[in-house]
Structure 1
Amino acid sequence: MKLLRIISILEGTSLLLLLFIAVPLKRLLDMPEYVSMVGPVHGGLFILFNMLLVLSVARYGVSSKHALMGFVASLVPFGSYVFKAKVLSKYE
């Protein structure tokens, strides 16, 4: 569970970096290289986070409802932070 908490923060941070720094740099200043760097990192963290959610259902008794909430939270800016604080804290 500790790994899931860490990855949730990293995934949320990578999404924020992508949406609020890399994409604006690409669109406003014609600097696409930042999206090329941050995008794959975020993609990997997104996949890892959701794989850990599925494993947590089987291994740690995380409910399917909470896992679905985690998936939806990973799609929304700041969602991973809220998910970690509100849901993952119940599984300590």
Structure 2
Amino acid sequence: MPLSLKTPLSRFRFIGILEGISYLVLLGIAMPLKYWAGWPLAVKYVGWAHGVLFIAYLIALIAVAFDRRWSFVRVIVAFIASLVPFGTFWLEGRLKREEEQSVS
């Protein structure tokens, strides 16, 4: 299915993927470059991009929570997913399965 960013949920899922990728790049590439290779600019730029994507994730989370009337617990789980490496990918998988089940 082609990517559509027309709904708050689809935008949230897309931003979640980008945020998750930026988090893994920050932890897995930029931080080792800083501490092992002595190149702190990697963390500066990747960290900045990750920060912007994290804020976009939070804004998208608030939008989808109001649009879908998510419970407080679900919002907290989605927030915590953004703090755990691979968490946004796990959440994306759950949201995709829920969407597929609601369509069929």
Q: Same fold (TM over 0.5)?
A: yes
Q: Aligned ranges for residues 11-90 of structure 1 at < 5 Å?
A: 11-86=19-94, 88-89=95-96, 90=98
1:30-83: CA deviation from partner (whole Å, max 9, x where unpaired): 001111110011001111111111111111222222211110010010000001
TM-score when normalising by structure 1: 0.91
Q: Which consecutive segments of 4 or more residues in structure 1 shift more than 3 A? A: none
Question: How many residue pairs were aligned?
Answer: 91
User: What SS does the corresponding residue of 1:24 show, helix, strand or coil?
Assistant: helix
Larger Rg: 2
Letter in 1 for 2:50: H
User: What SS does the corresponding residue of 2:74 show, helix, strand or coil?
Assistant: helix
CA distance in 2, matches of 1:29, 1:57: 42
TM-score when normalising by structure 2: 0.81
CA distance in 1, matches of 2:58, 2:88: 11
Partner of 2:4: none
The question of whether the paired residues in 2 share the 8 Å contact of 1:62 and 1:91 is answered with no
Letter in 2 for 1:77: P
Letter in 2 for 1:68: I
Structure with higher RCO (Cα < 8 A, 6+ apart): 1
